[in-house]
Amino acid sequence: MSQEEPMLPDDEDDKRLMGLVAGGDDDALRLLVHRHHARLVGYLRGEVGSQATAEELAMEVFIRLHRAASRWRPEAKLSTYLIHIARNLVLNEWRRRGRKPTTALEFAAEPGDLSQGSARRVAELDEAFQRAILQLAPEQRTAILLVVQQELPYEEIAEIMDAPVSSVKTWIHRARARLRELLKDFYAQE
């Protein structure tokens, strides 16, 4: 598993590929999955805190995408549609199992060429942040992940979350405030 970014998605090419997928072209599906899965798994891992569950849910997202390919209308970007499905699956999963995101975190920072001391601090910070994010309310967690991690605009987040932009902004504001509170020991000097 590597953390590299795949080639940038091309919306027009996504539409063309979706047409092919609807016609039963498995190579087109393979290309779409290759293009979008990394960000989807990244987002899902932020939501559920587990790599295995994130991959399982991402797999289900693509299976649903394939099933809906013939009915899909390119009104939104495919990446938006995928995250929309993913979020619904996350909500269903919690409802079904009556569980919260896992607390056994699997996040490991990749220190690169950092010195041992800073690598340790990065790892500690990563774990503290991820633990805090998993304690947020679901709407706040989704909103903060989409705006900070996935760098999506408010309008797109509102579309994904089926909510007005004003609610999205409120969730993000509350998420930041809650995270600051949860991590106050790290940032006492601010």
Partner 1 sequence: MDNPEQTPFDQELAATLRRGRAVSVAGFAERVVVAVVAARRRRTVVRWSSALAAAAAVFVALLSLPATSEEALNRQTFALIARDESAQLADLFGAADDLSLLAPVAERPAVVETFVSPGS
Place of tokens 């899909």: 72
Among 9, 74, 94, 126, binds partner 1 (CB under 8 A): 126
* Site membership for partner 1, residue 171 (CB under 8 A): no
Task: Show the binding pattern over residues 20-49: x = contacts partner 1 (CB under 8 A), - = does not.
Answer: ------x--xxx-xx--xxx-xx--xx---
Q: For residues 117 and 187, which CB has a smaller minimum distance to partner 1 in the complex?
A: 187
Going from the C-alpha of 140 to that of each of 105, 150, 171, the distances in angstroms are: 19, 14, 5
Quick one: which segment of 10-18, 77-85, 146-154, 161-169 binds partner 1 (CB under 8 A)?
Answer: 146-154
* Site membership for partner 1, residue 158 (CB under 8 A): no
Q: Report d(CA 85, CA 90) in Å as an integer.
A: 9
Q: For residues 8 and 116, which CB has a smaller minimum distance to partner 1 in the complex?
A: 8
Cα torsion for 154, 156, 159, 161, to the nearest 10°?
-60
Q: For residues 1 and 104, which CB has a smaller minimum distance to partner 1 in the complex?
A: 1
Provide the sign of the torsion angle of the four alpha carbons 60, 31, 47, 116, taken in this order: positive
Among 15, 169, 174, 176, binds partner 1 (CB under 8 A): 176
Helices (H), 4-106: 11-22, 26-48, 51-67, 78-97
- Contact call for residues 140 and 174 (beta carbons, < 8 A): yes
* Site membership for partner 1, residue 107 (CB under 8 A): yes
Place of tokens 């991402």: 58
Residues lying near partner 1 in the complex (CB under 8 A): 1-6, 26, 29-31, 33-34, 37-39, 41-42, 45-46, 51, 54-55, 58-59, 62-63, 66-67, 107, 109-110, 125-126, 129-130, 133, 144-145, 147-151, 176, 179-180, 183, 186-187, 190
